[in-house]
């Protein structure tokens, strides 16, 4: 089987601003995610980041990406419009895109999903989160040990969350403080697919959890582009069959 080409992108961590995050991810979150995804023989993984030329996502990189994994939080404004449009265009043409944690605030997410304000409430006290499976037939839950994943310390994101109604809901999280969140949801966009998976606050070791790693791997597999037919759908076209009484203009 041809390997799925995965690009894991993140914005970088400022050690002064986020000492706890840098302690967990000394080489940034992209590298950590790329490391565990790279152990999966289905994937060929590269890590890219915001500080690289063209925000780390040149046309060449995007052209060689089947699935883009995105982690951003603080520096969304630094992503250029050109790179944003490149990512959006690639999704519409088939590339899969996984938005992790706070990444729905990113420019590509806003453009693809029509999100135009802060998406929702949050609380950052390290409370317990249970990520419940609500769709047993979705490939994202393949091989899970239990019907939920328990994260001992998490950041709460709560409903109502400002996302468009998803095409599918795979996970709903319950938080110790009482709130809930549609924490694993997906949309079909053009020829591509988009998945939002909420767990992953940078100051808690959420991505160290092997069940979370398994689910992220499953999602990446599901996001793989589909090689469908080329479709003509823009502009006036001639009829395929003779039309008996066409109205003359």
Which residues contribute to the site for Zn ion (CB under 5 A)? 155, 201
- Of 43 and 197, nearer to Zn ion (C-beta) is 197
Nearest approach in angstroms of CB 152 to Zn ion is 16
Least Cβ distance, residue 15 to Zn ion (angstroms): 17
Q: Least Å distance between CB 24 and Zn ion?
A: 12
Locate 101 and state its tokens: 């944690």
Close Cβ partners of 80 (under 8 Å, ≥ 6 residues apart): 54, 55
Smallest distance from Zn ion to CB 201, Å: 4
Q: How far is the CB of 209 from Zn ion (least distance, A)?
A: 16
Query: Beta strand 4-10 with 43-49: parallel, antiparallel or unpaired?
Result: parallel
Q: What does DSSP assign to residue 140?
A: G
- CA 2 to chain CA centroid, nearest Å: 22
Which lies closer to Zn ion via its Cβ, residue 92 or residue 125? 125
Sheet holding 96-100, edge to edge: 43-49, 4-10, 67-71, 96-100, 192-197, 180-189, 168-175, 121-133, 148-158
Considering beta carbons, is residue 14 or 82 the nearer one to Zn ion? 14
Q: 35 vs 46, 120, 204, CA distance in Å?
A: 9, 31, 18
Nearer to Zn ion among residue 21 and residue 141 (C-beta): 21
Residue number with the shortest CB distance to Zn ion?
Answer: 201
Give the number of other Cβ atoms within 10 Å of residue 140's Cβ. 24
Nearer to Zn ion, 22 or 61 (CB): 22
- Cα separation, 106 vs 84, whole angstroms: 9
Q: Rounded to whole angstroms, how far apart are CA atoms 207 and 214? A: 10
Whichever of 141 and 151 has its CB closer to Zn ion, that residue is 151
Min CB(73)–Zn ion separation in Å: 6
């Amino acid at each position: 089987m041809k390997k799925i080409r995965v690009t894991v992108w993140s914005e970088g961590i400022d050690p002064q601003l986020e000492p706890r995050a840098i302690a967990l991810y000394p080489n940034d979150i992209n590298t950590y995610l790329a490391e565990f995804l790279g152990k999966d023989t289905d994937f060929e993984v590269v890590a890219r980041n915001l500080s690289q030329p063209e925000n780390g996502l040149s046309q060449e990189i995007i052209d060689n990406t089947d699935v883009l994994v995105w982690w951003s939080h603080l520096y969304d404004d630094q992503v250029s419009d050109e790179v944003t449009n490149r990512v959006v265009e690639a999704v519409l043409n088939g590339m899969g895109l996984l938005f992790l944690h706070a990444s729905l605030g990113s420019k590509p997410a806003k453009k693809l999903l029509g999100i135009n304000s802060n998406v929702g409430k949050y609380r950052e006290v390290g409370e317990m989160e249970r990520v419940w499976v609500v769709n047993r037939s979705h490939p994202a839950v393949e091989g899970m040990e239990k019907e939920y994943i328990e994260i001992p310390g998490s950041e709460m994101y709560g409903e109502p969350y400002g996302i468009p109604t998803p095409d599918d809901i795979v996970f709903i999280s319950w938080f110790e403080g009482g709130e809930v969140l549609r924490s694993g949801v997906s949309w079909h966009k053009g020829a591509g697919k988009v998945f939002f998976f909420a767990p992953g606050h940078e100051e808690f070791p959420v991505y160290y959890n092997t069940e979370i790693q398994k689910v992220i791997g499953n999602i990446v597999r599901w996001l793989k582009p589909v090689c469908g037919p080329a479709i003509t759908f823009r502009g006036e076209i001639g009829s395929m069959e003779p039309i008996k009484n066409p109205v003359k203009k």
